[in-house]
Amino acid sequence: MIFQILLAITILASSACGLIIEIVAGRLLAPVFGMSLYTWTSIIAVVLAGLSVGHWIGGHLTRGHFVKHAQFIKIAYALFLSSLTSLLILLLLDFIPSILQMANLSVINAILVSSLILFFLPSLFVGIVSPLATKLAIDIHPQGETGVVIGRMYALGSAGAIFGALLAGYFLISTLGSRNTVILVAVIYFALGSVFFLIGYKQNAKVMIIPLAIGVSMMAGAQKIGALKSQCVTESNYFCIQIQDVGMAGAETRLIALDHLVHSINEKDQPERLHSPYVHFVDEYISLRFGDRPPQSFFIGGGGFSLPRAWIAKYQGKADITIAEIDPQVTDIAKAKLWFSPDGSQTKVIHGDARYELNKLADDVKFDLVFGDAFHDISIPEHLVTQEFNDLVARRLHDDGVYLVNVVDNAKRPLFLLSYVKTLQRSFDKVEVWFEPDPRQQGMRTTFIVVGTNTPLEDDFINAENGFERSWWRWPNTKLISASANQQLPILTDDRAPVDKLMSGLLLGNLH
């Protein structure tokens, strides 16, 4: 009976740990590659491949004459190897991207190779445990109930996987951080392996010092090279949040990066000095439209809160600003590290999905500006680019209101941008695309600002009146209409919004 309970706990715990590693994998790779469909596809495929191979090997290891202590030892070694290869993730994590950069791999190949190197072996070795434990449970169970034992083990494995996914997503990563979560998993594997090892080697338990010494050595090595320390200031349920000082000596200037994408750069003593060109454009564009009148604004995404912070100073707290930021920890970091202080102003921060929050406002609430600056990796979340969402935004704008959206795409073949323009044209009388004519900005990845409105400006270019010396040009209207009219470009809807596919030319480009 005791052995049956031990085997049940082992199946439950090892399955949970296997799923925890799978969830953590996305967070570990996010600061390097972001969190796209391609990232998750590679991780899930690699983990499932590892488990499949592990199950196959574990099944073959059940062959031969049944010797109880030998079965316990096999499970012990599988768990020890699961533990050690989990720690190996931390040892290799910071070296893999630089090696792949030198190999000049495309992003998708780099993601796939990284996933294979880091996560295949831990999944393989934990996959060996399940068939070994199930066969052992059958052999020590009364005859005639094989089906009952198999069903129980399958159920426990599924329950463990569910528990592990929920535990990692809702608690472990945001509480311990991804690297400490990996260490926790390695410790659990090792503890379970030790139990089986002690049972199998009753007369020679001191042999266990070998895997213990290896594990301690790996931990010491990881500590020495800094592999246990995360580059994130904090890991929330959504992002790896990073803060860096980027100012010259004596000037306090910081940037915030969410996963691997820089979102904002703020100066402590000059809140109106806008470093990001697209944020600077929005400030200049709104000044042209509304003059000195503070716009009633709804921000989709907060990031470093650079523009709200600038407008609090510019309009002396009288601008009516509502910001929908999905991650409360981003707001906390902006207040603590980036000098965002909405107190005493008409600025409100709502922590929730922008579409949900915009939809639930009272029917009579309208805005002069809705500014879209929310990203999942380098792409806008799919539900924020569809015709249905654009119609919602249009209903929330005053007659002379404007919808501005920050869009990142391939400069030479911006299929997503053009598809998005084509979709916006169904909700707004006029859709414009602006860009900064700076050769440094015209590489593979370029930031565009898309404008949707019923009352457009007549300007073809805008020169900055404040802050950095910049200018922006408007994509000629006839050329934009012609390019976006391509029949192969889809209208983005809630039913179908293939953002990652349209951006594949950018997402699958080189790491450089």
- Label residue 108 by pLDDT band (50, 70, 90): confident
The share of the chain scoring above pLDDT 70, in percent, equals 92
Q: What is the 3-state secondary structure (H, E, C) of 362-424?
A: CCCCCEEEEEECCCECCECCHHHCCHHHHHHHHHCEEEEEEEEEEEEEECCCCHHHHHHHHHH
Percentage above 90 pLDDT, the chain: 56
Pick from 71-85, 96-110, 331-345, 467-481: least confident = 96-110
* 510 has pLDDT over 50: no
Q: What is the pLDDT of residue 428?
A: 96
Q: pLDDT class for 106, splitting at 50, 70, 90?
A: confident
- If one compares 247 and 18, the residue with the highest pLDDT of the two is 18
Q: Residue 275 in 3-state DSSP?
A: coil
Q: Which residues pair with 402 in a beta bridge?
A: 369, 453
pLDDT of 266 above 80 = yes
Most confident residue range from 163-172, 249-258, 260-269? 163-172
pLDDT above 50 (res 512):
no
pLDDT of 250: 56
Using 50, 70 and 90 to split pLDDT, how confident is the model at 252?
A: confident
| Edge-to-edge order in the sheet of strand 261-267 | 234-235, 240-245, 253-258, 261-267
pLDDT digits (tens, 9 = 90+) for 476-492: 989 999 999 888 899 99
Rounded to an integer, the average pLDDT of 124-145 is: 87
| CATH numbers and ranges of domains, the chain | 2-231 (1.20.1250.20), 271-507 (3.40.50.150)
| Prediction pTM value | 0.82
Q: Are 489 and 420 in contact (CB under 8 A)?
A: no
Q: Which residue has the higher pLDDT, 252 or 159?
A: 159
- If one compares 242 and 420, the residue with the highest pLDDT of the two is 420
Mean pLDDT across 445-464: 91
Q: Which residues have a Cβ under 8 Å from the Cβ of 99 and sit 6 or more positions away?
A: none
Q: In this model, does residue 52 exceed pLDDT 90?
A: yes
pLDDT at position 128: 96
Q: What is the pLDDT of residue 312?
A: 95
Q: Calculate mean pLDDT across residues 277-287.
A: 95
pLDDT value for 228: 67
Summarize the confidence of residues 140-157 as an average pLDDT: 84
With 0-12 CB in 10 A as exposed, 13-18 as middle and 19+ as buried, what is 140?
Answer: middle
| Burial class, 163, CB count within 10 angstroms (exposed 0-12 / middle 13-18 / buried 19+) | middle
**pLDDT tens readout for residues 356-407:** 999 999 989 999 999 999 887 678 889 999 999 999 999 999 999 999 999 9
The answer to whether residues 326 and 304 touch, using CB atoms and an 8 Å cutoff, is no
Answer whether residue 98 shows pLDDT above 80: no
Strand 240-245 and strand 234-235: the pairing is antiparallel
pLDDT at 70: 84
| DSSP β-ladder status, 367-372 and 397-410 | parallel
pLDDT value of residue 68? 74
**pLDDT of the residue at 103:** 75
- The overall average pLDDT reported for the chain is 88
pLDDT of residue 69: 79
pLDDT surpassing 70 at residue 278: yes
Token reading at 466: 């404040």
Q: pLDDT by residue (tens digit) across 150-208? A: 899 999 999 999 999 999 988 998 888 899 999 999 999 998 998 888 888 765 666 66
Query: Which secondary-structure segment (H or E) carries 461?
Result: strand 461-463
